[in-house]
Amino acid sequence: MTNIEPVFSIENLNFYYGANRALSNINMDIMPRKVTALIGPSGCGKSTYLRCLNRMNDTIAGTRVEGKILLHGEDIYAPDVDEVDLRQRVGMVFQTPNPFPQSIFDNVAFGPRVLGLTNNKTDLEEVIVKSLTKAALWDDVKDDLKQGALSLSLGQQQRLCIARVIAVQPEVILMDESTSALDPIATGHVEDLIAELKEDYTIVIVTHNMQQAARVSDVTGLFWLGELIEFNKTKEIFTRPKEELTEAYITGRMG
């Protein structure tokens, strides 16, 4: 059996909002080209934990991190880490689609332009086509890339946001309840897309929808009151949980 190194290694992570400890002693390895699902009731720390992985919590005053989050062995909270570079490598798709009030083309082009990832217009156009294709949106929009992004349906807007993340060549894609604002058909499109994207990217999703976690993820972690209760292969979590609290949550007796 080959030894595959984790993309992220999280060691004894504690996170504080002021004096309030929101995460307690989290330990987790996130493996490459897998979908990791984080489940648990509202307020249990899932989204806080997700935002720790690309330092989005840094924008909140009074927050503090203890422990280590290693990305390929390097501490992302080390003083010399470039946060812009980190967020290029570890992109995020939010709960509500948030396209810029610009054209579809300019939305996907934004990151490559700012980061200087392309040398000319031909290269940029190639990145945009590839990104929209990987996000399963190209066929919908190829005839008019100049149309406003806000004219798209919510499901299309979310796939556009995924294309925008893909365009800056990330290693990891974080998805924070990325289908909760969508209808069932649009949700299905995004779930299908997640299955395709994991061939090229490591994906971590936060979801309230346990059926979704069971459908799309390879491994699942249950968070409860800021603690990681159980972390295992998704099939094991949903069919043979080791912890009583996990079984109570997935059967609906608690949470």
% pLDDT > 70, the chain:
98
Tokens 């299908």 correspond to: 192
Average pLDDT over residues 227-246: 96
Dihedral angle of Cα 218, 25, 245, 236, to the nearest 10 degrees = 20
Q: Any idea what the CATH number is for the domain that residue 32 is in?
A: 3.40.50.300
Q: pLDDT band at 119, cuts 50/70/90?
A: confident
| Within-domain flag for 15 | yes
pTM of the full predicted structure?
A: 0.94
Q: pLDDT band at 253, cuts 50/70/90?
A: confident
In DSSP terms, 226 is beta-bridged to none
Separation of alpha carbons 165 and 150, rounded Å: 17
| Within-domain flag for 246 | yes
| Within-domain flag for 18 | yes
Average pLDDT over residues 229-251: 95
Domain count for the chain, please give it: 1
User: Does residue 255 surpass a pLDDT of 70?
Assistant: no
What is the 8-class DSSP label of residue 82? -
Average pLDDT over residues 99-124: 94
Among 23-27, 242-246, 251-255, which is the least confidently predicted range?
251-255
Tokens of 22: 């929101």
| Within-domain flag for 127 | no
| Within-domain flag for 108 | no
Segment 61-82, tens digit of pLDDT: 999 999 999 999 999 999 999 9
Average pLDDT over residues 151-162: 96
pLDDT (0 to 100) of residue 1: 40
Q: How far is CA 219 from the centre of its chain?
A: 14
| Within-domain flag for 162 | no
Segment 91-111, tens digit of pLDDT: 999 999 999 999 999 999 999
Segment 50-65, tens digit of pLDDT: 999 999 999 999 999 9
The residue ranking higher by pLDDT, 23 or 181, is 23
Tokens of 110: 């934004």
| Within-domain flag for 66 | yes
Q: Assess contact for 109 and 189: CB atoms under 8 A.
A: no
| Strand 219-224 with 227-233, pairing | antiparallel
Average pLDDT over residues 232-238: 97
| Amino acid letter for position 242 | K
Average pLDDT over residues 41-58: 95
pLDDT (0 to 100) of residue 72: 96
| Within-domain flag for 165 | no
User: Does residue 39 surpass a pLDDT of 90?
Assistant: yes
Q: What is the full DSSP assignment across 36-68?
A: EEEE-STTSSHHHHHHHTTTGGGGSTTEEEEEE
SS3 216: helix
Average pLDDT over residues 113-142: 94
Residues 6+ apart with CB under 8 A from 211: none
Separation of alpha carbons 214 and 86, rounded Å: 29
Q: Where are the alpha helices (DSSP H) in 117-232?
A: 121-134, 138-141, 154-166, 184-197, 210-216
Residue 207 domain boundaries: 8-98+172-250
